Homo-oligomer: A and B are copies of this chain.
Amino acid sequence: MLHAPTPVRASLDPAVLDALRSRFGEQLDLRESIRTQHGSSEAHFATVLPDAVVFARSTQDVVDLVNICVPARVPIVPFGAGTSIEGNAVPVRGGISLNMAEMNRIVAVRAEDFDCTVEAGVRREQLNEHLRDTGLFFPIDPGANATLGGMASTRASGTNAVRYGTMREAVLNLTVVTPDGRVISTARRARKSAAGYDLTRLYVGADGTLGIITEVTLRLHPIPEVISSAVCGFATLEGAVDTVVQAIQLGVPLARVELLDDVQIRAVNLWSKLDLPEVTTLFFEFHGSPAGVAEQVELVRGHAAENGGGDFAWSNRPEERARLWKARHEAYYAAIALRPGGVGWTTDVCVPISRLTECIALTKQDLERASVPATIVGHVGDGNFHVIFSLDPDSAAEHAEVAAINDRMVERALAMDGTCTGEHGIGLGKQPWLVAELGEAVDVMRAIKRTLDPHDLFNPGKIFAL
Contact = CB atoms under 8 A, between A and B. Distances in A.
A195 B182 CA distance: 27
Contact of A186 (B190, B249, B441): B441
Interface in A433-466: 433-434, 437-445, 447-448, 450-452, 463-464
A353 B115 CA distance: 11
Interface stretch (A201-209, A310-318, A335-343): A201-209
Interface in A183-199: 183-199
A424 B195 CA distance: 9
Give the copy number: 2
A219 to B, nearest CB: 11
B113 A354 contact: yes
A419 interface: yes
A202 B204 CA distance: 11
A113 B452 CA distance: 36
B201 A418 contact: no
Contacts of A155: 193-194, 198
Given A184-B441, A222-B251, A292-B289, A352 B189 contact: yes
A297 interface: no
Interface residues of A, number: 89
B196 A110 contact: no
A452 B444 contact: yes
B419 A187 contact: yes
Contacts of A463: 196-197
A205 B442 CA distance: 20
A170 to B, nearest CB: 12
Contacts of A161: 192
B447 A191 contact: no
Contacts of A189: 352, 417-418
A382 interface: yes
A188 B292 contact: no
A40 to B, nearest CB: 21
B110 A352 contact: yes
A442 B196 contact: yes
A406 interface: no
Nearest to A168: B198
A354 B184 contact: no
Contacts of A292: 289, 291-292, 295
Contacts of A205: 194, 196-198
Contacts of A113: 352-354
Residue from A190, A221, A413, A438 whose CB has the most chain B CB atoms within 10 Å: A190
Given A194-B424, A351-B190, A445-B196, A251 B221 contact: yes
A221 to B, nearest CB: 7
Contacts of A444: 178, 184, 199, 452
Interface string A148-188: 00000011110001000110110000000010001111111
A410 to B, nearest CB: 10
A426 B350 contact: no
B383 A191 contact: yes
Nearest to A351: B190
A412 to B, nearest CB: 13
A422 B188 contact: no
Contacts of A442: 196
12 contacts: A110-B354, A113-B352, A156-B194, A161-B192, A184-B444, A191-B384, A194-B422, A197-B205, A197-B206, A222-B251, A448-B451, A448-B452
List of 8 A-B pairs having minimum Cβ-Cβ separation, nearest first: A201-B201, A193-B419, A222-B251, A190-B350, A112-B354, A184-B441, A451-B451, A113-B352
Given A185-B439, A195-B434, A201-B201, 10 more contacts: A110-B354, A155-B198, A161-B192, A189-B418, A190-B352, A193-B350, A195-B438, A196-B445, A197-B448, A291-B292
